[in-house]
Chain A
């Protein structure tokens, strides 16, 4: 029993942090950068093998686990990275066909996320996508978007495009079981954790330099105590994510319950931290040039995917836990 990243896990986390801070820094969203991954970024992430961390080696992956997957997507979250990075990785875990799988792992073909919305579907992160992936706890299905009607809509969250899609056609690949959904939960929870940590870091650094009434705002308890509460929420979300990712890696019987709890706590922590960081920044916090609103908008999107509050809580209530 050891519930903290160690050894090679730490090395992968550091490598991911360096690569992502360079390849898709959050600053890109202030520089008129397009939403979603560009084809160039997608192939460069693919070359590094980032989409296949949790895929077995004989399936063309790195043979690592949900732990490394979590550590990577936490760094994606820190930079407000697009959702389609995660969807690409999930698609790679959904497909058995060698050629298609290789194309997805390499990032040659893009994948957006399909989410049912009444009679039609929403499609997120598919500006350059060939495929759409629909995921549920029962299984996952990859659809070719070639024949679909895609109506791109204005998107609140600048990190990802948003579309309404109809006529998605039949699936080109499917997978049974919870595996893809669970990796989606780990990835989304990890991104939310990264967003929450970035939101806290933003206000902590600002509170050291911004002065009111002749003192740094970080010395006022009205600011300090909210920051402390953010730190507590983040700590709980982080520890529970480590537990859930490790439970998934080890195939424990209570992994589902721990994943639901991890996603719920990440939802709550990210929404609290991104809300609070805007408020504590004061006026500058509501400006477009600031990162705070980018984090808030992305957190709002991610907290609705791979388990939103009410569904998670309904599943969690009666779940049995092991020692």
Chain B
């Protein structure tokens, strides 16, 4: 074991730090709306022009092909430079799901068309997996596709779709074989969101924002050339995406959490409780802060240990589920604790992230532990694939 960075990795860190110091946006990302979309596209274009787009993507497809460790260094430097975090950007799905799926399963034409557009920020993607009746149980999905000659006609509804109103494309998973059950008979489509017959309705969340949506499909015609993988073979294509999400997809969140604990400690030093004393002098708050700090140190160590393993095997393992459990639990504990530190300030919330980022984060902690596979599903995956317990279903 070894904690020393190679000369190459140190040089990489210095290069990233220097570029970010000169190029990271000086203004915070707008919380939502067209301004946020513009901001995300501009920042992605800047990354692309500067040669920093697609850090995890193979070089053959325009990415940087960075090692796992260099990805960690990159996200650490992004966080240090207060640059926009990838996981809150509307470009997240394109970078972390759609691109990697197309690289794994797309045709040469699909790759040539989509990948450069994703890297340059020209294409924003959203994910069309969950439905009103199919969330954790994704294979229960019912949105249908009728194959008619060279086209597929789509009817149904998708739910919890982040950034649907901004997206140019959707990873659309539908049932193309009406007689099929569960994982069979599904098809994965690189779906053009400008197709006639698409209707987007925002879902207001408890964060008082509209970042998730319902997307309705009424006789929407899709050329069969948009299918990624095989018609009726969509489950396999979808799984390529999910394993990526559970693997390195949370690096940014993991490292940002580390940073947030430091900010919470500073906050506890300067925020006075009802008794007039700084919150940090409350022994319960101090101990909880330190315990959460230890958890974030463990998360960083788990990330580095996971990368050592991934570098050896070449594939993100099932431990991504364990990482998500740890990260979301720690995030929830931290934001809950900060709600105690903030006192009445915690309750002043109008939905604007910039006005009260901690309360926003507190509310978001439930989104975090449900989205992308709820914590209950992550425990199932851990029990099945890491512990190899008998199946529950």
Binding site for B on A (CB under 8 A): 1-6, 9, 67, 200, 204, 207-208, 215-216, 218-221, 223-225, 227-229, 231-232, 235-240, 242-243, 245-247, 249-250, 252, 257-258, 260-261, 264-265, 309-310, 312-314, 316-318, 321, 323
A316 and B386 form a contact (CB under 8 A):
no
B265 and A317 form a contact (CB under 8 A):
yes
A1 and B9 form a contact (CB under 8 A):
yes
Picked from A6, A257, A323, the residue with its CB within 8 Å of the CB of B76 is: A323
Among B104-112, B118-126, B298-306, the stretch that binds chain A is: B298-306
Closest to B392 in A: A219
A313 and B291 form a contact (CB under 8 A):
yes
Measured CA separation A271–B99 after assembly (Å): 43
B293 and A261 form a contact (CB under 8 A):
yes
Closest to A221 in B: B392
We find that the number of chain B residues with CB closer than 8 angstroms to chain A is: 49
Measured CA separation A247–B319 after assembly (Å): 24
A239 and B2 form a contact (CB under 8 A):
no
A5 and B1 form a contact (CB under 8 A):
yes
Picked from A1, A218, A221, A240, the residue with its CB within 8 Å of the CB of B4 is: A1
A218 and B390 form a contact (CB under 8 A):
yes
A2 and B389 form a contact (CB under 8 A):
no
The residues in B between 282 and 304 inclusive whose CB is less than 8 angstroms from any CB of A are 286-287, 289-291, 293-295, 297-302, 304
Grouping DSSP codes into helix (H, G, I), strand (E, B) and loop, the B interface class, with mixed when no group exceeds half, is: helix
**How many residue pairs at the A-B interface have CB separations less than 8 Å?**
160
| B260 nearest CB across to chain A (Å) | 14
B301 and A3 form a contact (CB under 8 A):
yes
Grouping DSSP codes into helix (H, G, I), strand (E, B) and loop, the A interface class, with mixed when no group exceeds half, is: helix
A224 and B304 form a contact (CB under 8 A):
no
Q: What 8 pairs between A and B have smallest CB-CB spacing?
A: A236-B298, A239-B301, A313-B290, A218-B389, A224-B383, A228-B379, A228-B382, A4-B308
Does B325 have its Cβ within 8 Å of any Cβ on chain A?
Answer: yes
Q: Residues of B contacting A1 with CB < 8 Å?
A: 2-6, 9, 69, 304
A239-B301, A314-B290 as given contacts; A252 in contact with B3, CB under 8 Å: yes
| A315 nearest CB across to chain B (Å) | 8
Beyond contacts A1-B304, A219-B389: 10 other A-B pairs, Cβ-Cβ < 8 A, are A1-B2, A219-B392, A224-B389, A228-B382, A232-B382, A242-B301, A246-B1, A260-B294, A310-B287, A316-B290
B290 and A235 form a contact (CB under 8 A):
no
| A14 nearest CB across to chain B (Å) | 16
| A238 nearest CB across to chain B (Å) | 8
B3 and A4 form a contact (CB under 8 A):
no
| B173 nearest CB across to chain A (Å) | 26
Does B137 have its Cβ within 8 Å of any Cβ on chain A?
Answer: no
Q: Residues of B contacting A229 with CB < 8 Å?
A: 325, 379
A207 and B290 form a contact (CB under 8 A):
no
Encode B2-33 as 1/0 by CB contact (under 8 A) with A. 11111001000100000000000000000000
